[in-house]
Amino acid sequence: MIPDDKVREVRERASIYEVISGYMSLRKSGANYQGICPFHGEKTASFNVNPARGIFHCFGCGAGGNVVTFVMRMEGMNFPQAVKFLAKRVGVEIPERPLTREEKHKLDEQEMLYEINEIAARFYRRVLESDETGALGRQYLVKRGVDDDIAATYRMGFAPAGWDNLAKHLQRKGIALAQAEKLGLLRKREGRDGYYDTFRNRLLFTIADLHGRAIGFGGRVMDDALPKYINSPESAIYRKSEVLFGLDLAKKGMREQGSAIIVEGYFDHLALYRAGFTNVVATCGTALTPQHLKLLRRYAEKVYMLFDGDEAGRKATVRSMELFLEEGFPARVIEVPKEDDPDTFIRREGAAGFAPLLEKALPIFQFYYRGVAASIDTGSVEGKVAFVNEVGPRLVKIQDSLERGLYEQEICKAAGIDLAMLRKKVGGPVPAAPQASSQPRPRPRPALRQGPSTEEVLLTLMVKFPEVVNKVRETGPEAFFSGGHLRVAQAVAAQSLNGDFDLSTVLESLESPEERTRLSGLFVQDDHLEDIDPLKAFEQCRQTLQRGALKGDAKALRLELAQLDPDSPRFAEILLELEALRNKKSKLL
């Protein structure tokens, strides 16, 4: 638990403008800075940063918050991680409980493993860039159409053909070779002392974590030798079930596109990224896991599966489908011709040839059941049974009842069976027959975008003008506000009195994300208030709110009146009360 005073100090010292401008380009616009929102794709700048108030808001997607919120979204961190990340940047010491000897040893060892991988990555990179022993790697990249800039982006390297080039390099750097063995960089010689290099005569891709730190390597041969790829084994800093290759490169593209493209191979990833599809990640020689999906959900709302066009690629897609269905994560399948993999297709057809495949991508369950229907003869009873037995267990994993119902209808049509029979076989309620109605269904009315309420206008006045805060404080915020607005008004009044006003903290007190988003949008941009008379505007808000309250009271009294006997004493009392309300209302006009 980070102390509140430390969180506040981090917010005060971490300039929201400086932090955000480190991630994106901002330009001055009045009291604010504007830029292209990093959280959704857009062409016109709707992302606003208000340095004076320490908040940001996007009028396109509704994202908003303070400097900690921004880092949480950009880096995929939780609150404590984001605070510590910023604290390190601005030099704020966050008190930590003393580590046990075991915890300190584990932390020190992890840092050492990161450092060893970095040393190895720099060694392999130098060999590829300029060493004579890296000439084969350079020639191979030229053949594959990979230029120096792309090779640098991927931190590609080359492991020379000798047995102990890296081992000798690490020794010269003072690294204990037993530590490098834990990372799979070296292997112990059998029957005698010493170590030899795991990666030899291979082109290397650096596998990085979310923050770009080297955690492993993927080594590819440059001929037909087997195994084609050797990947780093799991270690204390590399767990394949939690890592997606290229995620550090794809974070920005995934946020902008709202989607991720998943491929299997390193060169598949490179081909898409080079063609401009920067929201691409790859599995590291393992099946997708729930942890992978959790990572993807930080940045994307849906995914596209793009595996090889052969039977093996189809089977890998189907294996992934069950996970997407169970997690309720929308997924589509991009199909390349059977003779292709993504790399060969894009190198031949380019981005222009790939874009139509992306547009025609099928929902993953639709792709699956159509493939099954094409492989089974559903004209026979045996074929129908086999089809339902194959598709049924996956069908029941679809969580959305409407989506599942629509697929049930398509499957029944494809197999030529009755819906009730399908549901009896796989489970699920048999729908009731629809009731006929002679009345036409009313057309839904489009939702109107509401402007700020009087309470919200008064809140913006309080945030901007101290004299309005004093007026509200005199009567008491509860006379003007209700619900979440009351909590914000009370916090503004209290903080202003203490001389320690932090708007971002005030907004965080709101439980409703929708209310938080709406108010941050109102508070981030208030240039329209520059030339108004704040006390006159306060008086107008006060009268409007009082009229609204009187109107509500009168409505309640009229409803009660309608239920009473005209001869009852209460009937006469209500008439007098209504008259008094009318007199009060007339004085406000």
Nearest to 325 by CA among 372, 395, 391: 395
Whole-number pLDDT of residue 443:
42
Gyration radius of the chain over CA positions: 32
β-strand pairing of 280-282 with 302-305? unpaired
Spatial separation of the C-alpha atoms in residues 465 and 526, rounded to whole Å: 11
CA distances, 324 to each of 42, 177, 333, 391, 394 (Å): 28, 41, 12, 15, 11
β-strand pairing of 202-208 with 157-159? antiparallel
Q: What are phi and psi of 19, to 5 degrees?
A: -65, -50
Nearest to 272 by CA among 353, 343, 340: 343
Beta-carbon contacts of 227 under 8 Å, excluding residues fewer than 6 positions away, are 221
Spatial separation of the C-alpha atoms in residues 19 and 93, rounded to whole Å: 18
Whole-number pLDDT of residue 163:
94
- Three-class SS of 220-258: ECCCCCCCCEEECCCECCECHHHCCECHHHHHHHHHHHC
Contact 119, 153 (CB under 8 A): no
Residue 441 pLDDT greater than 80, yes or no: no
Whole-number pLDDT of residue 305:
95
Pick from 209-218, 439-448, 486-495: least confident: 439-448
Contact 46, 58 (CB under 8 A): yes
Q: How confident is the model at residue 500 (pLDDT cuts 50, 70, 90)?
A: low
Q: What is the mean pLDDT of the chain?
A: 86
Whole-number pLDDT of residue 246:
96
CA distances, 521 to each of 45, 49, 130, 264 (Å): 14, 10, 53, 41
Pick from 57-61, 388-392, 401-405, 572-576: least confident: 572-576
Amino acid letter for position 254: M
E-state strands within 131-232 = 157-159, 186-188, 195-197, 202-208, 214-220, 229-231
Per residue in 222-261, pLDDT (tens digit) is: 888 889 999 999 999 999 999 999 999 998 898 888 899 9
Pick from 93-107, 308-322, 400-414: least confident: 93-107
Residue 445 pLDDT greater than 60, yes or no: no
Amino acid letter for position 357: L
Q: How confident is the model at residue 451 (pLDDT cuts 50, 70, 90)?
A: low
Q: How many CB atoms lie within 10 A of CB 488?
A: 26
Q: What are phi and psi of 216, to 5 degrees?
A: -175, 180
Residue 269 pLDDT greater than 60, yes or no: yes
Helix (H, G, I), strand (E, B) or coil at 29: strand
Residue 149 pLDDT greater than 90, yes or no: yes
Pick from 113-117, 208-212, 425-429: least confident: 425-429
Spatial separation of the C-alpha atoms in residues 101 and 523, rounded to whole Å: 48
Spatial separation of the C-alpha atoms in residues 113 and 102, rounded to whole Å: 17
Burial class (CB in 10 A: 0-12, 13-18, 19+), 299: buried
Question: How is residue 305 annotated by DSSP?
Answer: E
Q: Distance between terminal CA atoms of the chain? A: 53
- Three-class SS of 423-437: HHHHCCCCCCCCCCC
Residue 343 pLDDT greater than 60, yes or no: yes
Q: How confident is the model at residue 430 (pLDDT cuts 50, 70, 90)?
A: very low
Per residue in 84-139, pLDDT (tens digit) is: 999 999 999 988 777 788 878 888 899 999 999 999 999 999 999 999 999 999 99
Residue 353 pLDDT greater than 80, yes or no: yes
Spatial separation of the C-alpha atoms in residues 363 and 366, rounded to whole Å: 5
